[in-house]
Amino acid sequence: MDDLIFELADEEIPRDRLALLLDHFSKLSDERESWRVMYPLAEVLLLLTCATICSCDDFDEITTWGESHLPFLRRFSEFHFGIPSQRWLRDLVNRIDPILFGQCFESWIAALSPGRHDLIAIDGKTSRRTGDKRKGLKALHTLSAYATNARLTLAQLSVPEKTRSCPQQWCSSACGGHRNCR
């Protein structure tokens, strides 16, 4: 990932944030044979991060966003072969260890905004008209963990029933066992 090429010297803040992103995600290993790599992992991480920040929810949207913003992305890296297809992105992301990726993401967010995750809110919602008593289906209940100061949703989970307590196994993974999560 160290071979990422920065082309514009007058954009220190984006370059610093990109360097920080790559530093925190450097723990992710790229098991591909280096001579066959068309899309370096650093470029893919840049694409995924930027597109996700811009509200892209799936790989089709990420690919479309990348194609329409390729000149912007090339300010930070070559993207010699352009933007990978949505199928290729899905395959690569599925190879990444999700636990390690989550740890890298958490450390990157913490470094971007030190001290901003002081309070994590747990919120439950029940979706109306999702149950069917005749079929024995209960309404859909969703729990969300939200870092209030960072304005960031950390995790969401569908739960079988409405409850006033956070599931312990989920709470420890979503909030990292945060002291305020009870």
Any idea what DSSP says for residue 77? S
Q: Rounded distance, CA 106 to CA 109, Å?
A: 5
Go through the chain and tell me how many residues it has. 182
pTM: 0.58
**Residue 163's pLDDT band (cuts 50, 70, 90):** low
Q: Give the pLDDT of residue 85.
A: 92
Q: Retrieve residue 65's tokens.
A: 């966003």
User: Which residues pair with residue 126 across a beta bridge?
Assistant: 141
Q: Within a 10 A sphere around the Cβ of 31, how many other Cβ atoms?
A: 8
Side-chain half-sphere exposure of 56, counting CA atoms within 13 A = 21
Angle, CA 87 vertex, CA 81 and CA 93 arms, to 5°: 90
pLDDT tens digit sequence for 124-134: 787 776 666 77
pLDDT tens digit sequence for 86-120: 998 988 888 888 888 888 887 887 787 776 656 77
